[in-house]
Amino acid sequence: MHLAVVACGDRLEETLIMLKSAVLFSNRRLCFHIFSEDSLKPEFNKKLQEWPSSYTKKFEYNIYPITFSVGNAQEWKKLFKPCAAQRLFLPVILKDVDSLLYVDTDVLFLRPIDDIWHILKEFNSTQLAAMAPEHEIPKIGWYSRFARHPYYGTTGVNSGVMLMNLTRIRSTQFRWNYRPDHCMYGSNCKGAEEEGVSILHGNRGVYHDDKQPTFKALYEVIRDFPFEDNLFQSLYYPLQSKFLDTVHTLCGRIPQVFLKQIEKTMKKVYESRVIVYLGANHRY
Protein backbone atom coordinates (compact mmCIF):
# COMPACT_ATOMS: atom_id res chain seq x y z
CA MET A 1 0.00 0.00 0.00
CA HIS A 2 1.54 3.29 -1.13
CA LEU A 3 1.20 6.46 0.96
CA ALA A 4 2.46 9.84 -0.29
CA VAL A 5 2.99 13.05 1.68
CA VAL A 6 4.67 16.42 1.07
CA ALA A 7 6.53 18.06 3.98
CA CYS A 8 8.01 21.55 3.94
CA GLY A 9 9.01 24.11 6.53
CA ASP A 10 8.12 23.15 10.09
CA ARG A 11 6.03 20.08 9.19
CA LEU A 12 8.59 17.43 10.24
CA GLU A 13 6.96 16.39 13.52
CA GLU A 14 3.44 16.56 12.10
CA THR A 15 4.46 14.29 9.21
CA LEU A 16 6.11 11.78 11.54
CA ILE A 17 3.01 11.60 13.74
CA MET A 18 0.88 10.98 10.64
CA LEU A 19 3.20 8.17 9.52
CA LYS A 20 3.19 6.76 13.04
CA SER A 21 -0.60 6.57 13.06
CA ALA A 22 -0.50 4.77 9.71
CA VAL A 23 1.94 2.15 11.00
CA LEU A 24 0.15 1.68 14.32
CA PHE A 25 -3.19 0.68 12.84
CA SER A 26 -2.45 -0.86 9.43
CA ASN A 27 -2.10 -4.56 8.69
CA ARG A 28 -0.42 -4.89 5.28
CA ARG A 29 3.05 -3.61 4.49
CA LEU A 30 3.30 0.09 3.62
CA CYS A 31 5.50 2.08 1.27
CA PHE A 32 5.92 5.75 2.19
CA HIS A 33 6.74 8.31 -0.52
CA ILE A 34 7.97 11.38 1.34
CA PHE A 35 8.54 14.58 -0.62
CA SER A 36 10.52 17.09 1.43
CA GLU A 37 12.93 19.96 1.31
CA ASP A 38 16.59 18.92 1.35
CA SER A 39 17.09 20.24 4.88
CA LEU A 40 14.50 17.82 6.26
CA LYS A 41 15.82 14.64 4.65
CA PRO A 42 18.47 13.83 7.32
CA GLU A 43 15.91 14.36 10.07
CA PHE A 44 13.40 12.04 8.42
CA ASN A 45 16.05 9.34 8.06
CA LYS A 46 17.18 9.76 11.65
CA LYS A 47 13.70 9.70 13.20
CA LEU A 48 12.33 6.81 11.14
CA GLN A 49 15.39 4.67 11.85
CA GLU A 50 14.90 5.25 15.59
CA TRP A 51 11.56 3.44 15.53
CA PRO A 52 11.61 -0.13 16.95
CA SER A 53 12.24 -2.96 14.50
CA SER A 54 8.84 -4.48 15.20
CA TYR A 55 7.38 -1.44 13.41
CA THR A 56 10.07 -0.58 10.86
CA LYS A 57 9.63 -4.03 9.33
CA LYS A 58 6.07 -3.01 8.45
CA PHE A 59 7.13 -0.33 5.97
CA GLU A 60 9.73 0.92 3.54
CA TYR A 61 10.18 4.53 2.54
CA ASN A 62 11.65 6.77 -0.13
CA ILE A 63 12.45 10.46 0.24
CA TYR A 64 12.24 12.70 -2.82
CA PRO A 65 13.21 16.34 -3.37
CA ILE A 66 10.55 18.95 -4.08
CA THR A 67 10.43 19.26 -7.87
CA PHE A 68 8.05 20.90 -10.32
CA SER A 69 8.43 19.72 -13.89
CA VAL A 70 6.40 22.53 -15.50
CA GLY A 71 6.68 26.32 -15.23
CA ASN A 72 8.30 28.44 -12.53
CA ALA A 73 9.25 26.35 -9.48
CA GLN A 74 9.06 29.29 -7.06
CA GLU A 75 5.54 30.15 -8.20
CA TRP A 76 4.41 26.54 -7.78
CA LYS A 77 5.98 26.41 -4.34
CA LYS A 78 4.01 29.45 -3.15
CA LEU A 79 0.67 28.21 -4.47
CA PHE A 80 -1.93 27.92 -1.64
CA LYS A 81 0.52 26.76 1.06
CA PRO A 82 4.19 25.67 1.09
CA CYS A 83 4.79 22.92 -1.47
CA ALA A 84 1.11 21.96 -1.70
CA ALA A 85 1.28 21.95 -5.50
CA GLN A 86 3.76 19.05 -5.41
CA ARG A 87 0.81 16.63 -5.24
CA LEU A 88 -0.16 17.65 -8.78
CA PHE A 89 3.03 16.06 -10.10
CA LEU A 90 2.79 12.70 -8.29
CA PRO A 91 1.59 10.75 -11.36
CA VAL A 92 4.57 12.04 -13.34
CA ILE A 93 7.20 11.42 -10.65
CA LEU A 94 5.95 8.06 -9.33
CA LYS A 95 5.73 6.41 -12.73
CA ASP A 96 5.95 2.86 -11.39
CA VAL A 97 3.21 3.29 -8.77
CA ASP A 98 -0.24 2.29 -10.01
CA SER A 99 -2.27 3.46 -7.00
CA LEU A 100 -1.54 5.51 -3.92
CA LEU A 101 -3.12 7.42 -1.08
CA TYR A 102 -1.99 11.04 -0.80
CA VAL A 103 -2.55 12.84 2.50
CA ASP A 104 -1.65 16.21 3.98
CA THR A 105 0.78 16.26 6.90
CA ASP A 106 -2.01 17.17 9.34
CA VAL A 107 -3.86 13.87 8.90
CA LEU A 108 -4.19 11.07 11.47
CA PHE A 109 -5.28 7.52 10.67
CA LEU A 110 -7.72 6.07 13.19
CA ARG A 111 -8.22 2.72 11.45
CA PRO A 112 -6.15 0.56 9.06
CA ILE A 113 -5.17 2.03 5.71
CA ASP A 114 -6.13 -1.42 4.41
CA ASP A 115 -9.77 -0.38 4.66
CA ILE A 116 -9.53 2.71 2.45
CA TRP A 117 -7.24 0.79 0.10
CA HIS A 118 -10.10 -1.65 -0.54
CA ILE A 119 -12.12 1.20 -2.07
CA LEU A 120 -9.79 1.03 -5.07
CA LYS A 121 -11.60 -2.15 -6.09
CA GLU A 122 -14.78 -0.12 -6.53
CA PHE A 123 -13.23 2.23 -9.10
CA ASN A 124 -13.95 1.78 -12.79
CA SER A 125 -11.87 3.02 -15.70
CA THR A 126 -13.02 6.64 -15.99
CA GLN A 127 -11.79 8.62 -12.95
CA LEU A 128 -8.42 9.42 -11.44
CA ALA A 129 -9.08 10.01 -7.75
CA ALA A 130 -11.55 9.84 -4.86
CA MET A 131 -11.97 12.77 -2.49
CA ALA A 132 -14.40 13.90 0.18
CA PRO A 133 -16.59 17.02 -0.23
CA GLU A 134 -15.15 20.19 1.27
CA HIS A 135 -18.28 20.49 3.40
CA GLU A 136 -21.50 18.61 4.10
CA ILE A 137 -23.68 21.76 4.29
CA PRO A 138 -23.30 24.11 1.29
CA LYS A 139 -24.49 27.27 3.03
CA ILE A 140 -21.65 27.16 5.57
CA GLY A 141 -18.99 25.75 3.24
CA TRP A 142 -15.89 27.81 2.39
CA TYR A 143 -16.17 27.54 -1.39
CA SER A 144 -19.88 28.35 -1.54
CA ARG A 145 -19.33 31.46 0.60
CA PHE A 146 -15.97 32.85 -0.50
CA ALA A 147 -14.61 31.22 -3.68
CA ARG A 148 -14.25 33.42 -6.75
CA HIS A 149 -13.09 30.56 -8.96
CA PRO A 150 -14.91 27.46 -10.29
CA TYR A 151 -15.17 24.46 -7.97
CA TYR A 152 -16.66 20.98 -8.17
CA GLY A 153 -20.31 20.40 -7.25
CA THR A 154 -22.06 22.49 -4.61
CA THR A 155 -19.30 22.47 -1.98
CA GLY A 156 -16.02 21.72 -3.77
CA VAL A 157 -13.75 18.85 -2.72
CA ASN A 158 -10.95 18.62 -0.15
CA SER A 159 -7.62 17.40 -1.51
CA GLY A 160 -6.10 16.67 1.90
CA VAL A 161 -6.96 12.99 1.43
CA MET A 162 -6.83 11.67 -2.14
CA LEU A 163 -7.09 8.02 -3.11
CA MET A 164 -5.50 7.98 -6.54
CA ASN A 165 -5.74 5.43 -9.36
CA LEU A 166 -5.49 6.08 -13.07
CA THR A 167 -7.80 3.26 -14.17
CA ARG A 168 -10.83 3.16 -11.92
CA ILE A 169 -13.53 5.36 -10.46
CA ARG A 170 -15.24 5.14 -7.13
CA SER A 171 -18.89 4.08 -6.97
CA THR A 172 -19.60 4.77 -3.30
CA GLN A 173 -19.57 7.76 -0.96
CA PHE A 174 -16.15 8.95 0.21
CA ARG A 175 -16.14 10.12 3.84
CA TRP A 176 -12.50 9.35 4.80
CA ASN A 177 -11.61 12.97 5.60
CA TYR A 178 -13.09 14.24 8.89
CA ARG A 179 -12.35 17.88 9.62
CA PRO A 180 -13.35 20.44 12.30
CA ASP A 181 -16.11 21.72 10.00
CA HIS A 182 -17.91 18.41 10.53
CA CYS A 183 -18.53 19.13 14.23
CA MET A 184 -17.52 22.66 15.26
CA TYR A 185 -21.00 24.02 14.46
CA GLY A 186 -22.75 20.78 15.39
CA SER A 187 -22.37 17.27 14.00
CA ASN A 188 -23.16 17.23 10.27
CA CYS A 189 -21.46 14.10 8.91
CA LYS A 190 -23.93 11.22 9.06
CA GLY A 191 -21.32 8.75 7.81
CA ALA A 192 -19.08 9.48 10.81
CA GLU A 193 -22.02 9.37 13.21
CA GLU A 194 -22.86 5.87 12.00
CA GLU A 195 -19.41 4.39 11.36
CA GLY A 196 -17.02 6.64 13.30
CA VAL A 197 -14.11 8.71 12.02
CA SER A 198 -11.67 6.82 9.82
CA ILE A 199 -9.17 9.54 8.91
CA LEU A 200 -8.88 12.71 10.99
CA HIS A 201 -7.77 15.87 9.17
CA GLY A 202 -6.60 18.61 11.52
CA ASN A 203 -6.57 21.45 9.03
CA ARG A 204 -6.36 25.12 10.10
CA GLY A 205 -3.59 24.15 12.53
CA VAL A 206 -5.98 22.74 15.15
CA TYR A 207 -3.42 20.21 16.40
CA HIS A 208 -1.29 23.11 17.60
CA ASP A 209 -3.74 25.55 19.19
CA ASP A 210 -6.65 25.27 21.62
CA LYS A 211 -9.54 25.98 19.27
CA GLN A 212 -10.48 22.31 18.79
CA PRO A 213 -9.14 20.38 21.82
CA THR A 214 -10.69 17.08 20.67
CA PHE A 215 -8.51 17.08 17.56
CA LYS A 216 -5.49 18.21 19.57
CA ALA A 217 -6.06 15.39 22.10
CA LEU A 218 -5.91 12.71 19.40
CA TYR A 219 -2.75 14.21 17.93
CA GLU A 220 -0.99 14.40 21.30
CA VAL A 221 -1.99 10.89 22.40
CA ILE A 222 -0.66 9.31 19.19
CA ARG A 223 2.45 11.51 19.37
CA ASP A 224 3.21 10.41 22.93
CA PHE A 225 2.33 6.71 22.52
CA PRO A 226 5.44 4.49 23.04
CA PHE A 227 5.56 2.00 20.18
CA GLU A 228 5.95 -1.12 22.32
CA ASP A 229 3.27 -0.23 24.87
CA ASN A 230 -0.23 -1.67 25.14
CA LEU A 231 -2.68 0.16 22.86
CA PHE A 232 -5.50 -0.04 25.41
CA GLN A 233 -3.51 1.28 28.37
CA SER A 234 -1.25 3.81 26.68
CA LEU A 235 -3.43 5.12 23.85
CA TYR A 236 -7.13 4.41 24.34
CA TYR A 237 -7.44 5.16 28.06
CA PRO A 238 -5.41 8.42 27.94
CA LEU A 239 -7.57 9.46 25.00
CA GLN A 240 -10.76 8.88 26.97
CA SER A 241 -9.34 10.92 29.84
CA LYS A 242 -8.37 13.82 27.57
CA PHE A 243 -11.80 13.80 25.95
CA LEU A 244 -13.38 14.59 29.34
CA ASP A 245 -11.70 17.99 29.14
CA THR A 246 -13.23 18.76 25.73
CA VAL A 247 -16.94 18.48 26.51
CA HIS A 248 -17.29 22.28 26.51
CA THR A 249 -16.93 22.16 22.71
CA LEU A 250 -19.42 20.76 20.21
CA CYS A 251 -16.82 18.32 18.85
CA GLY A 252 -16.05 17.17 22.38
CA ARG A 253 -19.68 16.25 22.99
CA ILE A 254 -19.56 13.41 20.47
CA PRO A 255 -16.56 11.33 21.65
CA GLN A 256 -18.11 8.13 20.28
CA VAL A 257 -17.65 9.51 16.74
CA PHE A 258 -13.89 9.76 17.31
CA LEU A 259 -13.52 6.51 19.26
CA LYS A 260 -15.70 4.06 17.33
CA GLN A 261 -13.14 3.02 14.68
CA ILE A 262 -10.30 2.94 17.21
CA GLU A 263 -12.38 0.61 19.38
CA LYS A 264 -13.13 -1.67 16.41
CA THR A 265 -9.48 -1.78 15.41
CA MET A 266 -8.33 -2.59 18.94
CA LYS A 267 -10.96 -5.32 19.23
CA LYS A 268 -9.59 -6.95 16.07
CA VAL A 269 -6.02 -6.70 17.39
CA TYR A 270 -7.07 -8.25 20.70
CA GLU A 271 -8.97 -11.07 19.04
CA SER A 272 -6.12 -11.89 16.67
CA ARG A 273 -3.67 -12.17 19.56
CA VAL A 274 -5.78 -13.76 22.30
CA ILE A 275 -8.73 -15.71 20.89
CA VAL A 276 -7.87 -19.04 19.29
CA TYR A 277 -10.52 -20.97 17.41
CA LEU A 278 -10.35 -24.65 18.28
CA GLY A 279 -12.68 -26.02 15.61
CA ALA A 280 -16.40 -26.45 15.05
CA ASN A 281 -16.71 -29.40 17.45
CA HIS A 282 -14.77 -27.87 20.29
CA ARG A 283 -15.59 -25.34 22.94
CA TYR A 284 -13.56 -22.20 23.59
Strand locations in 122-196, DSSP E? 129-133, 157-165
Q: Give the pLDDT confidence score for residue 284 in this predicted structure.
A: 44
Q: Give the pLDDT confidence score for residue 79 in this predicted structure.
A: 59
Q: What is the mean pLDDT of each run of 10 residues along the chain (284 residues)?
A: 93 96 95 94 96 95 82 61 74 83 95 94 78 84 79 84 63 70 92 93 93 97 93 92 95 96 86 58 48
Containing H/E element for 85? none
Give the contacts of 184 (CB within 8 A, at least 6 positions apart): 212, 249, 250, 251
- Can you tell me whether residue 107 is helix, strand or coil? strand
Domains of the chain: 2-171 (3.90.550.10), 180-281 (no CATH)
